[in-house]
Amino acid sequence: MELRERIKAATKQAMKDKDSARLSTLRLISAAVKDRDIAARAEGNDDGVEDAELLSILAKMVKQRRESARTYEEGGRLDLAEAELAEIPVIEEFLPKPLSDEDVTKAVDAAVKEVGASSIRDMGRVMGVLKTRYQGQMDFGAVGPMVKDRLAAAG
């Protein structure tokens, strides 16, 4: 089932179940997708955004929730931190299963080989391949230094 359809179905089910916390998070997801669709239409893409970009939106939402929760915890607002953390599993339902460390290493090796990367100057191309194929499945903040180390050793 297409990602948009899965989100719509989950929203309808949350309404039927009267699960207000889940419904609220699903509506936030829908609003973020709709905002990006409107921006895409303004850029001339009448179909809205692709699933790959939807995954990017969802991954960004998870990251924002984690950062907000950390900020609330530091500020002593545990109630707000818990609310942010409670939204993460709902958003993650629509993301692909994260890759294991071993699979991330294999993906990095394959991308380096595919691009023919031989120095640190090729890092952007390697990261581009990884982001295209593994959006939502790996933490690119952690993968970046791994790619950099791999290319530094190669070059």
pLDDT digits (tens, 9 = 90+) for 97-118: 888 888 888 988 888 888 888 8
Give the pLDDT of residue 3: 85
pLDDT interval class at 155 (50, 70, 90): low
Domain shared by 87 and 139, yes or no: no
Number of independent structural domains in the chain: 2
Q: What is the span of the domain harbouring residue 149?
A: 101-154
CATH of the domain at 134: 1.10.10.410
- Angle value at C-alpha 49, between 84 and 126, nearest 5 degrees: 85
Separation of first and last alpha carbons in the chain: 44
Domain shared by 8 and 45, yes or no: yes
Domain shared by 77 and 140, yes or no: no
Domain shared by 17 and 86, yes or no: yes
Structure tokens at 153: 């050793």
Domain shared by 61 and 125, yes or no: no
Domain shared by 15 and 49, yes or no: yes
Domain shared by 13 and 48, yes or no: yes
Q: What is the 3-state secondary structure (H, E, C) of the chain?
A: CCHHHHHHHHHHHHHHHCCHHHHHHHHHHHHHHHHHHHHHHHCCCCCCCCHHHHHHHHHHHHHHHHHHHHHHHHCCCHHHHHHHHHHHHHHHCCCCCCCCHHHHHHHHHHHHHHHCCCCHHHHHHHHHHHHHHHCCCCCHHHHHHHHHHHHHHHC
CATH of the domain at 24: 1.10.1510.10
Q: How many residues does the chain have?
A: 155
Domain shared by 32 and 63, yes or no: yes
More confident residue, 41 or 25: 25
Give the pLDDT of residue 48: 77
Give the pLDDT of residue 26: 95
Tell me the mean pLDDT in the region 30-39. Answer: 91
Could you read off the pLDDT of 125-150 as tens digits, one per residue? 888 888 888 877 887 888 888 888 88
pLDDT interval class at 154 (50, 70, 90): low
